[in-house]
Amino acid sequence: MLRIYFVAVALMAAALSSAQETAVDSSRTVEPPVSGSINYQTNYGRHYDAENDPTLWDFPHVVIDVAASLGRGWHAVGEFEYERFRQEGAWQNYFRDNYTTNLLYLDKQWSQAAGMKVGILNIPVGILNNYGPALTIYDPNSEVEVMPATWHDFGVSFYGTSGKIDYQASTYFYSEFTAHSTRFLGGLLRADYRPVEGLRIGTSGYYGTSDWGMVQKTTPIELPHKKSFFGSVDGDYQSDVWTVSGSFIYSNADARSVGLEAGYDVAAALGAKSLRVVPFARYDNWRVAGTTTQDYILGIHIVPLKNLELIGQFGRNFAARATNFFDLSFNYTWEF
């Protein structure tokens, strides 16, 4: 069923592209047929909120990104992730719990102003799910404690850019690949404004059912409403030395959050070409069902060689009782 759906959409879009030659097809540059990256991480930490063993291991953690150029504005894109934890004194060894397909879609771009994606797509509410910059080793609690992390579902998305504004409208579905099991999940609207180089300010909103999909399976908060809304106002600024980002998340499930982080590349500021040394700080505040929790994190990124990154961070979590945590990460990316 999934294969038939992909083929039908591909034939429909191919017919449209043959009837309408655009700037994308006429000015396209030569692309490699396949490109991507493999990111490998080993993480170690001491998390003192654990009931038994505070030691945390995250090994292996592998993310594979791949994109295939199919010609005439067509691409196939995938992102596959495997992450295995040892916490509370035990390894999580079930493959189906550790593996996820984050992205797997066909992308057709007719012009800068008009494109379409079909397949497993991200739901870009907030910084994390929009693939924005992140300095901490683990996903920020201001986002993952109120909505799904690496949020994705099967959908159709129309997107484009007009001037300094990027826009996106998407619909998502849940299916066990039979006509009877297919359900409409919800819809998303997103817009990002880029007033100057390096600066992005965006807003997004998702509204849909709470009965199926990732929002039903992995949302960390109770969803009392038949229909759920998640909205965000977020932004980031990236320059040769600065990385700054922040987000405000709101949900009608009595949840909201704020997250802010900033890092400064000391080595680049001193004129280093290949070395990066980025001290950073992060603050998270999330309120769920009347209870507020906060995180404070200080850390450092060191990039001694291209694609090799070492990260260390220390944080304090203020929940029912204050607890500390400490994490180290070895991170290498191979590009092809």
Q: Do residues 328 and 312 lie in contact, with contact meaning Cβ atoms separated by under 8 Å?
A: yes
pLDDT single digits (tens) 71-105:
999 999 999 999 999 988 899 999 999 999 999 99
The pLDDT value recorded for residue 329 is 98
Q: What percent of the chain has pLDDT over 90?
A: 81
Mean pLDDT over 239-260 rounds to 97
Q: What is the mean pLDDT of the chain?
A: 90
Local confidence band at 179 (pLDDT 50, 70, 90 cut-offs): low
Token readout for 253 is 């499930």
pLDDT over 80 (residue 4): no
| 10 against 58, higher pLDDT | 58
CA angle centred on 40, ends 34 and 41, rounded to 5°? 155
Q: Which of 299, 226, 255 is nearest to 143 (CA)?
A: 255
pLDDT over 70 (residue 22): no
Q: Which of 139, 80, 134 is nearest to 105 (CA)?
A: 80
Q: Compute the distance between CA of residue 194 and CA of residue 220 in angstroms, rounded to an integer.
A: 32
Mean pLDDT over 288-315 rounds to 96
Q: Compute the distance between CA of residue 144 and CA of residue 151 in angstroms, rounded to an integer.
A: 10
SS3 content of the chain, % helix, strand, coil (to 5): 10, 60, 30
Local confidence band at 180 (pLDDT 50, 70, 90 cut-offs): confident
Residue 109's alpha-carbon distances to 41, 75, 210, 217, in angstroms, are: 33, 9, 32, 32
Local confidence band at 25 (pLDDT 50, 70, 90 cut-offs): very low
